[in-house]
Amino acid sequence: MFRPLRNVLRLLGIARTLARYDALFPAEWLPATGGLVFMARLLSGFRTAPDIRDLRDGERLARALQALGPSFIKFGQMLSTRADLVGETIAADLSTLQDQLPAFSSAEARAAIEAEFETSVDNLFEDFDDTPVAAASIAQVHIAKVRVHNETSDIPQENAPEDELRTVAVKVLRPGIERAIERDLELFRWIAETAERAQPRLRRLKPIAAVETFATSLRWEMDLRMEGAAASELRGNFEDDPLYVVPSVDWERTGQRILTTEWIDGIPIHDVDDLVAAGHDLEAVVRKASESFFLQVFRDGFFHADMHPGNAFVRADGALCVVDFGIMGRIDRPTRYFLADMLLGFITRDYPRVSDVHFQAGYIPPETDREVFQQAIRAIGEPIFDRPPNEISIARLLAQLFLVSERFDMEAQPQLLMLQKTMLIAEGVGRRLAPELNMWQLALPLIEDWMREHRGPEARLAEVAASTILAVQRLPDAVQAVERAATTISEGRLSLDLKTAGSPKWPLWLAIAVTAAISVVALLN
């Protein structure tokens, strides 16, 4: 009884904030919300926030979501991956949503650290700066110093003297953030449930499932041990590459609400003037960004999915350094194959190939008219690739593809939506640094080499050979299983008499054959 009333009151408060930023248009997309929109405008006194008159719809919505707090900022970032729901322009505007909030006090930060490790901050760090260097919706970051002789730390310490201090970054979750997030998630669930009940046509969008996926993602992001593990995995993937740097994790000073990593000292990647003044080759930076992104997606299937400019730096030696691993993406091998086949098909304008890989992956219902789908694919590719090379946007291509594919009942692929959002941000950074370059053209030789190695005739033959060898290796086990089954039946310990089902008794040879077939299938699968 109280849940609907509580949620309706909260919904009115949210709508009032949206009205202040003239960002109520998402509510207007849904039927029967005219009363809510009018009430929200009434509660806001029909007044809007200053300096929003000339902003686009998506920019106003981004401002409103930022004003609503952490959950809504994260929700806006999620929506930025769903151009199929909100449109390409709004999705692009939401991708610039700044995950920034006022800092909380140093006393609260120190209390959180001491509660996590049950000791004083002074025992953990030689020095702790009370002024945060960054404050986002989920956590804020402080600079501290530790001694390098601590053997349980993963902070690099080769040839370092015993008393040398190293700088670290200490990430601290906001006080009470878990409680605030859960309260907002409860509201999101109620809205999704109400939408599905009131508007059955919205069920195909799976709003309840979308909220649960969002909730799971947020909970993982609020466990900083998971972020530390992601950083460690990414670092391991590039351990042999001195020009792509992932900070090491100090596990002794890392817990559920605290993450301590090596401090990265460099120039933010979007500060073009500072990079030029420091003598950096901007084309080399873009080339490295392109190469590392390709390796993450295709080689490893594990990529940094929050690559906004504030999370990347260029070190004095030209190395590209990344931080903040709360949002990571994973792509399994079949999806990587699909993506490589599809992108290469687009780049070579082989539209039948692009169409075929969609059907082979099972993304498009088999009864769909292939010729019509291929025509839709061509309508996407031709306008994009009929442009100067430096203006070609693979992120835009993917966004258009998702929009068109949705009309053919293609279900949303969350991992590809996250990848598309990351590509969009990466393209923006690349164009800012070197407008005349196209980072995907730089990666094309790598893609072609990878395709030859993993998708060429030799690779396919190797796959078949590997499967055959595995089957042969399992064959003795299959034969033993057949022998055991035959012995069991012959000794009368297993009856296949189906008289109770109205069937005649099976011949012994048929029973053995059926049992053998089942055993072989089970073992080979």
Q: What is the pLDDT of residues 354-372, one digit of tens each?
A: 999 999 988 888 889 999 9
pTM for the structure as a whole: 0.75
DSSP H helices, 95-237, are: 106-117, 121-124, 177-198, 207-221, 224-237
Nearest CA to 258 out of 139, 153, 144 is that of 139
Average pLDDT taken over every residue of the chain: 80
Q: What is the pLDDT, as a whole number, of residue 234? A: 97
Closest-CA residue to 289 (of 339, 233, 234, 245)? 245
Per the annotation, the verdict on 306 as an active-site residue is: yes
Helices vs. strands in the chain: H and E counts, helices first: 22, 11
Longest CA span, the chain = 90
Neighbours of 159 (CB within 10 A): 6
Catalytic residue among 93, 99, 250, 306, which? 306
Answer for the pair 518, 486: CB distance below 8 angstroms, yes or no: no
Weakest mean pLDDT among 68-72, 156-160, 181-185, 193-197: 156-160
CB 29 within 8 A of CB 38: no
> Mean pLDDT across the stretch 394-409?
79
The pLDDT assigned to 394 comes to 81
Amino acid at 413: Q
- The number of beta carbons lying within 10 Å of the beta carbon of residue 457 is 8
Please report the pLDDT score of residue 510 as a whole number. 47
- At 55 the three-state DSSP class reads coil
SS3 track for 143-157: EEEEECCCCCCCCCC
The pair of three-digit structure tokens given for residue 350, joined into one six-digit string: 């082989």
Question: How large is the average pLDDT for residues 284-303?
Answer: 92
Cα 187 off chain centre by:
23
| pLDDT number for residue 508 | 47
pLDDT in tens, 373-395: 999 999 988 888 777 777 778 88
- What per-residue confidence (pLDDT) applies to 428? 82
Q: What span, in angstroms and rounded, lies between the C-alpha atoms of 90 and 34? A: 22
Q: What is the mean pLDDT of residues 397-416?
A: 77
pLDDT of residue 450: 79
Give the pLDDT band of residue 524 (cuts 50, 70, 90): very low
Label residue 505 by pLDDT band (50, 70, 90): very low
The pLDDT of residue 351 is above 50: yes
Tokens of 518: 């089942």
Q: Could you tell me what percent of the chain has a pLDDT over 90?
A: 33
pLDDT in tens, 82-107: 666 677 788 878 877 777 788 999 99
